[in-house]
Structure 1
Amino acid sequence: MSLNKLVLAASLGLGLSLLPITSFASVPAQTAVSQSAITPDQALQMLIDGNKRFVDGKMVERDLTKQVAATGAGQYPYATIIGCIDSRVPHELVFDAGIGDIFSARIAGNFVNTDILGSVEFATAVAGSKLIVVLGHTSCGAVKGACDNVELGNLTHTLSNIAPAIYATTDIPGVRNSKNKEFVQAVADKNVELTVQNILDRSPVIADLVKQGKVKVVGAMHDVATGQVTFTK
């Protein structure tokens, strides 16, 4: 099957048995029908495929104006991403997604608090998103700042949310600060892992959706040098 047909199938969440499509511009925005047909595993694969297109320079050509019009009366995203505010990790771009495809919560250090958990509960339990991704990234300034015990206004409190990942990272030799790149990356990885667990521990709503098989929660790491996203199950 051609890449065109695969892309359209993924965007609709309807598998691979679609009629031939020759124009990427015809890829529609998500609807209630297409969203409901997507499983958590399919939503994950759609992000994996979208990132591959991004890395390969084969991004879908979308008519964003039409997608704005199509989503004006409602939104039906298939995925929710909790990511860092880093300017090098724009979610819709790195996953080659369209308008109305992704809920995006961004905060320095990609951790969760009560407000973000409430937002993600809305995205899943109310608005029907099938997948939650905690997306960290390499060379994370928030992680570096936390490792260096940076103190600056309200940022001091923000970075304190990364401290558990620092304490839990004990097997990396060398200094325990931003000068040790291996240590910084290990903390970033651990921070994603702990955030995934925090979502399940602190949100009975999401934990129940996961138990029912309606939602999946996964971690991922974005390489800012290549654009590639690696998922952890």
Structure 2
Amino acid sequence: MNLQFSKHHRMRTHTKETQNSLTPDLAAEILKEGNDRFVNNLKADRNLLQQVNETMNGQHPFATILSCMDSRTSAELIFDQGLGDIFSIRIAGNILNEDILGSMEYATKVVGTKVILVLGHTKCGAIVGACNHVQLGNLTSLLEKIQPAIDAEKETTAEHRTGTNPDFVNRVTENNVHLTIAQIKRDSPVIAQLVADEQIKIIGGIYNVETGKVTFYEE
């Protein structure tokens, strides 16, 4: 790894210069290494109060993460990142909508993050609810956005296609990540062009709530 982005350096607040000099691959690697530290309980040495001061006039995060609102999946914690390091977008089932796409376009095209991570997680209540066809107020329309991931699962027979089948739920969770990435590229010409120009990359991942480990998918 480039000495400029050694472990010691990464614990400092990102500046415009460090953000600009990151490649998308290196940005993704920083997330992977951060999760390794989290799993091994090796929290990086950083001064959060100092980062408050260093970011009060601006921010230069290197990653944009779309994850679930689940209380166990705080992106800053599971990737061992500090203030000013990531844009964290959280919503039940890590689903995508127009406002989230707009937020991603701002994060990448305007602010300059180098990687988008779509992060699902095991034992996701939103995925289970969608598999069980739960209907509850405004939650109904949110869970409907997961239906394509259910439809894409072809291995499970009709009688076992419920939220009580962990294998079915796991496959739907993976499908939801991959389909969301495809939807980002399809519905955002801004982001699709950044990907085509190799200015950013989009990756997927599943967080295991039992181990703390993220399994990454390169798209």
Identity of aligned residues (%): 47
Residues 204 and 142 of structure 1, relative CA distance in 2, 3 Å threshold:
same
Q: Do residues 116 (structure 1) and 85 (structure 2) align?
A: no
Name stretches of at least 5 consecutive residues in structure 2 with no aligned partner: none
Q: 1:185 aligns with which of 166, 170, 185?
A: 170
TM-score when normalising by structure 2: 0.95
For residue 59 of structure 1, report the CA deviation from its aligned partner. 1.1
For residue 86 of structure 1, report the CA deviation from its aligned partner. 0.3
Corresponding residue number in structure 2 for 1:68: 52
Corresponding residue number in structure 1 for 2:189: 204
Aligned-partner Cα distance in 1 for 2:141–2:170: 21
Cα deviation per residue 1:160-192 (whole Å; 9 max; x = unaligned)? 000000011011355100110000000000000
Aligned-partner Cα distance in 1 for 2:192–2:177: 17
For residue 16 of structure 1, report the CA deviation from its aligned partner. 3.5
Cα deviation per residue 1:40-71 (whole Å; 9 max; x = unaligned)? 00000000000000000111021100001000
Aligned-partner Cα distance in 2 for 1:142–1:115: 19
1:68-217 aligned at under 5 Å gives the runs 68-173=52-157, 175-217=160-202
For residue 149 of structure 1, report the CA deviation from its aligned partner. 0.6
Q: Do residues 17 (structure 1) and 3 (structure 2) align?
A: yes
Q: Do residues 45 (structure 1) and 33 (structure 2) align?
A: no
Cα deviation per residue 1:114-156 (whole Å; 9 max; x = unaligned)? 0000000000000000000000000000000000010111000
Is the CA contact (8 Å cut-off) linking 1:25 and 1:61 kept in structure 2? Answer: no
Q: Which secondary structure state, in structure 2, belongs to the residue aligned with residue 33 of structure 1?
A: helix
Higher relative contact order (CA 8 A, sep 6+): 2
Residues 20 and 107 of structure 1, relative CA distance in 2, 3 Å threshold:
closer
Name stretches of at least 5 consecutive residues in structure 1 with no aligned partner: 1-14
Q: 1:226 aligns with which of 200, 211, 216?
A: 211
Q: Which secondary structure state, in structure 1, belongs to the residue aligned with residue 93 of structure 2?
A: coil
Cα deviation per residue 1:182-206 (whole Å; 9 max; x = unaligned)? 0000000000000000000000000
Is the CA contact (8 Å cut-off) linking 1:196 and 1:219 kept in structure 2? Answer: yes
Over aligned residues, Cα RMSD in angstroms?
1.7
Which letter does structure 2 place at the counterpart of 1:181?
P
Is the CA contact (8 Å cut-off) linking 1:125 and 1:206 kept in structure 2? Answer: yes
Q: Which secondary structure state, in structure 2, belongs to the residue aligned with residue 76 of structure 1?
A: coil
Aligned-partner Cα distance in 1 for 2:143–2:176: 11
